[in-house]
Chain A
Amino acid sequence: MFLSLIQATSSYAYWHEHEHGHGYIGINLGVWPGSYDYDYYYHPYYPYYAAPYYYPAYAVTSSTYQPVVFNGVTYYLNNGVYYIYTEYGYQAVATPVGAQVVSPAAVTPSPVSAYTDDSITINVPNDKGGYTAVVLKKSGNGYTGPQGEYYPEFPKVSQLKMMYGK
């Protein structure tokens, strides 16, 4: 992934002496926003070489600012703080009205039911990580399922999951 990132952008490398007498290798990648500068400082007598093992971590730097749009304005969320991007960098702003930090689990729809006079819809968790809508119709004192099965009492979700949760 990182290699493709390099290939997709203009890049150059350079080498020269550091102002304090140490040498360093510099690589500049033209990746938005801003530019990346790598400076591998080393002591002249210490055989330290930059290894590629940590390159992938750098490729995701800009992704720490997750863009979110509220009322047509693009905000960037990082560590629970909202920012807007300006010419000076990311400016911290107050949390936009209506915005809240939600975890992926929080946005997963929980089982809900839609009730009409003679039927009720149950969203049963399935094996695919989603939900299967199961419509139960009132039948006398009990309920009838989609496959014609009869439940003398309102069935538990675990019961429905056995039949419709596949």
Chain B
Amino acid sequence: MVLAGCATSTRYDNYTSRRFPPKDELYTVNVYPESQVLGAANPYYVIGKISIEGFVSSGVNPGSLTNQAKEIARKRGADAVINAKTEVFRYYYGDELLRFTGELIVYAPPASK
């Protein structure tokens, strides 16, 4: 018997060896799509790139991937996610793979140790 759970795979690419204090679970992490470019007027650092993917057949949807990205961002101490997008890959057997990608940022000055 196969139980379809929340099966996702994640990958995180560090752009820096620095670590940042995790954010509180109630901290609101904003997610900005690729089309919404943040200006340099509000300085920030891109600390890494995140990729999360999972199959629709296992209950994954764009919203759940985004929420998972926010959760990981908080754990990584990020303030927001930029260049966010969700791609859909269709498979011959009818399933769809959703892949969320985005980059984590912290607003300057960085609050690191």
A150 at the interface (CB under 8 A from B): no
Contact mask for chain A residues 21-41; partner B; CB cutoff 8 A; 1 contact, 0 none: 000000000000111111111
Write out the residue numbers on chain A whose beta carbons fall within 8 Å of the beta carbon of B53: 54
Of A37, A42, A47, the residue contacting B12 (CB under 8 A) is A37
Interface range for B:
35 or more
Indicate if the CB atoms of A93 and B45 lie closer than 8 Å: no
Chain A: residues with Cβ within 8 Å of the partner, total of 36
Q: Could you say which of A3-11, A81-89, A103-111 contacts chain B?
A: A81-89
Q: Give the Cβ gap from B97 to chain A, nearest Cβ, in Å.
A: 8
Contact A87 B37 (CB under 8 A): no
B110 at the interface (CB under 8 A from A): yes
User: Shortest CB–CB separation between residue A59 and chain B, in angstroms?
Assistant: 11
A100 contacts the other chain (CB 8 A):
no
Residues on A facing B (Cβ under 8 Å): 33-43, 45-48, 50, 54, 58, 61-62, 78-83, 86-95
